[in-house]
């Protein structure tokens, strides 16, 4: 055989028919595989509902919570250590019981969730910004900058996140021994976000490298379009899918990290207790039988983390064409 005789015949383009108007973005989304996969996955729907519920309770805690646990004036020490309302000594006023200071557990949960969610989300946002930014830079500029950033990523990845967060927190504590709340929160958020940015940097760098080789990017560079613009308009949209999946799962991780740090006593300041703080406080009462002080915050934490994780899992499967 001297030549490879391919069987596919040459194809002549057919006459172009009249092109109908392209459907809008919302219509395309609703028709698309992602929404279809969502509708068909009871797990995803339940997870979304639970997550939304928690977020709403947290956001509107001021209006929804029956009591204000942070306002010392409203606390009645006589009502301390009451079990949940459905038990014998419980009172209907305090649906989930009270702690040793008379604070209503249900309200504390709502306010606590708010703190937890706030820190978690803020950390993820900062993480995404740092990670995506460094990833774009690394992929686009290449060379020494890229090598350096990747080295840093490697080193950071080999350390467990909790350690990094603890270290930064510890250093912050040592540097600012009498920090007020805002500073404490900032240090905490920075600590948590520095533990998670690497995954975004790597993913974005990978996509940037791929896009950079493509001809339309090279053409744009030849014309003189600035690299920043290319990165923003072409690379970024391609990368958002995986970043979204990572970020969703990361929210759960960030919330858990914050809860762990607060549980260990090195997280949020004691004046703004998060779910982790509540659990820590409650652990002391386990042996005296007052389980509700620690268990309910724990359950809420589990619900939030689980539902966000499930959403993230579903999103990953929905966006992955290979798994279908």
Partner 1 sequence: MAAPLLEVSHLRVEFPTRRGTLRALDDISFDIAPGEILGVVGESGAGKSLTGAAIIGLLEPPGRIAAGEIRLAGQRIDNLSQQQMRTIRGRHIGAIFQDPLTSLNPLVTIGQQLIETIQVHLKVSHEQARQRAIRLLQETGIPAAEQRIDQYPHQFSGGMRQRVVIALALAAEPKLIVADEPTTALDVSIQAQIISLLKRLTKDHGAAVMLVTHDMGVIAESCDRVAVMYAGRIAEIGPVAEVIHRPKHPYTVGLMGSIPSMDIDRERLMQIDGAMPRLTAIPSGCAFNPRCPRVFERCRTERPDLMIAGATRAACWLVANDNKVNA
Partner 2 sequence: MLAFILRRLIQAMIVMVTVAFIAFMLFQYVGDPVTNLLGQDATPQQREALRRDLGLDQPFFVQFAKFAVNAAQGEFGLSLRQGRKVSVLIAERFPATLELATVAALLGLLLGIPLGVYAALKRGSFMSQVVMTGSLLGVSLPNFLIGILLILVFAVQLKWLPSFGRGDVVSFGNLSTGLFTIDGLKHLVLPAFTLSLFPMTLVLRLVRSEMLEVLRTDYIKFARARGLPDRSVYFRHALKNTLVPVITIAGLQLGAIIAFAIVTETVFQWPGMGLLFIQAVQFADIPVMAAYLCLIALIFVTINLVVDLLYFAVDPRLRIERSAAGH
Give residues in contact with partner 2 (CB under 8 A). Answer: 155, 158-160, 162-163, 166-167, 169-171, 173-175, 177, 252, 256, 259-260, 263-266, 279, 283, 286-287, 289, 291, 294-295, 298, 301-302, 305-306, 309-310, 313
Q: Are 187 and 175 in contact (CB under 8 A)?
A: no
Q: C-alpha distances in angstroms, 2 versus 5, 9?
A: 9, 19
From the list partner 2, partner 1, none, partner contacted by residue 26 (C-beta under 5 to 8 A by kind): none
Q: Per-residue x/- mask for partner 1, residues 33 to 52, rule CB under 8 A?
A: ---x----------------
Q: Are 205 and 139 in contact (CB under 8 A)?
A: yes
Q: Among residues 1 and 19, whose Cβ is nearest to partner 1?
A: 1
From the list partner 1, partner 2, none, partner contacted by residue 55 (C-beta under 5 to 8 A by kind): none
Q: Among residues 14 and 22, whose Cβ is nearest to partner 1?
A: 14
Tokens 């596919």 found at: 8
Q: Among residues 144 and 324, whose Cβ is nearest to partner 1?
A: 324
Per CB under 8 A, the list member of 5, 63, 224, 321 interacting with partner 1 is: 5
From the list partner 2, partner 1, none, partner contacted by residue 10 (C-beta under 5 to 8 A by kind): partner 1
Binding window for partner 1 (CB under 8 A); candidates: 3-11, 23-31, 59-67, 195-203: 3-11
Shortest Å distance, C-beta 37 to partner 1 = 10
Q: How far apart are CA 196 and CA 203, in angstroms?
A: 12
Kindly provide the b/e burial profile for residues 281-309, where b requires at least 16 CB atoms within 10 angstroms of the residue's own CB: bbeebeeeebbbbbbbbbebbebbbebbb
Shortest Å distance, C-beta 256 to partner 2 = 4
From the list partner 1, partner 2, none, partner contacted by residue 14 (C-beta under 5 to 8 A by kind): partner 1
Shortest Å distance, C-beta 237 to partner 2 = 27
Encoded tokens for 179: 């920090």
Shortest Å distance, C-beta 80 to partner 2 = 20
CA nearest 54: which of 125, 93, 112, 122?
A: 112
Task: Report the half-sphere exposure of 229 (CA within 13 A, side-chain side).
Answer: 6
Decide if residue 323 touches partner 1 (CB under 8 A).
no
Q: Are 200 and 127 in contact (CB under 8 A)?
A: yes
Decide if residue 2 touches partner 1 (CB under 8 A).
yes
Q: Phi/psi zone of residue 3: left (φ > 0), alpha (ψ -120 to 50 degrees), beta?
A: beta
The answer to whether the Cα torsion of 302, 60, 281, 272 is positive or negative is positive
If DSSP codes are grouped into helix, strand and coil, which group holds residue 274?
coil
Shortest Å distance, C-beta 5 to partner 1 = 4
Decide if residue 16 touches partner 1 (CB under 8 A).
no
């Amino acid at each position: 055989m001297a030549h490879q005789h391919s069987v596919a015949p040459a194809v002549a383009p057919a006459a172009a028919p009249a092109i109908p108007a392209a459907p809008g973005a919302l219509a395309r989304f609703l028709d698309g595989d992602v929404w279809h996969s969502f509708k068909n996955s009871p797990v995803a729907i339940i997870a979304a509902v639970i997550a939304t519920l928690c977020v709403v309770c947290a956001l509107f805690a001021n209006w929804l919570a029956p009591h204000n646990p942070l306002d010392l004036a409203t606390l009645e020490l006589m009502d301390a250590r009451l079990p949940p309302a459905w038990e014998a000594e419980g009172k209907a006023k305090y649906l989930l019981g009270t702690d040793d200071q008379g604070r209503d557990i249900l309200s504390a949960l709502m306010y606590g969730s708010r703190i937890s969610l706030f820190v978690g989300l803020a950390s993820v946002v900062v993480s995404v910004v740092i990670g995506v930014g460094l990833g774009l830079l690394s992929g686009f500029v290449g060379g020494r900058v890229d090598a350096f950033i990747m080295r840093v990523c490697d080193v950071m990845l080999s350390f467990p996140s909790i350690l990094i967060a603890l270290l930064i927190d510890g250093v912050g504590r040592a540097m600012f021994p009498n920090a007020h709340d805002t500073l404490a929160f900032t240090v905490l958020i920075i600590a948590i976000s520095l533990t998670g940015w690497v995954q975004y940097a790597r993913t974005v760098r990978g996509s940037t490298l791929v896009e950079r080789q493509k001809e339309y990017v090279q053409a744009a560079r030849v014309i003189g379009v600035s690299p920043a613009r290319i990165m923003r308009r072409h690379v970024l949209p391609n990368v958002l899918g995986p970043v979204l999946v990572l970020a969703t799962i990361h929210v759960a991780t960030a919330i858990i990290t914050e809860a762990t740090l607060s549980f260990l006593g090195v997280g949020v300041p004691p004046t703004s207790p998060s779910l982790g703080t509540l659990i820590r406080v409650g652990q002391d009462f386990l042996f005296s039988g007052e389980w509700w002080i620690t268990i309910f915050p724990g359950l809420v934490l589990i619900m939030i983390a689980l539902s966000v994780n499930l959403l993230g899992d579903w999103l990953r499967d929905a966006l992955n064409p290979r798994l279908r």
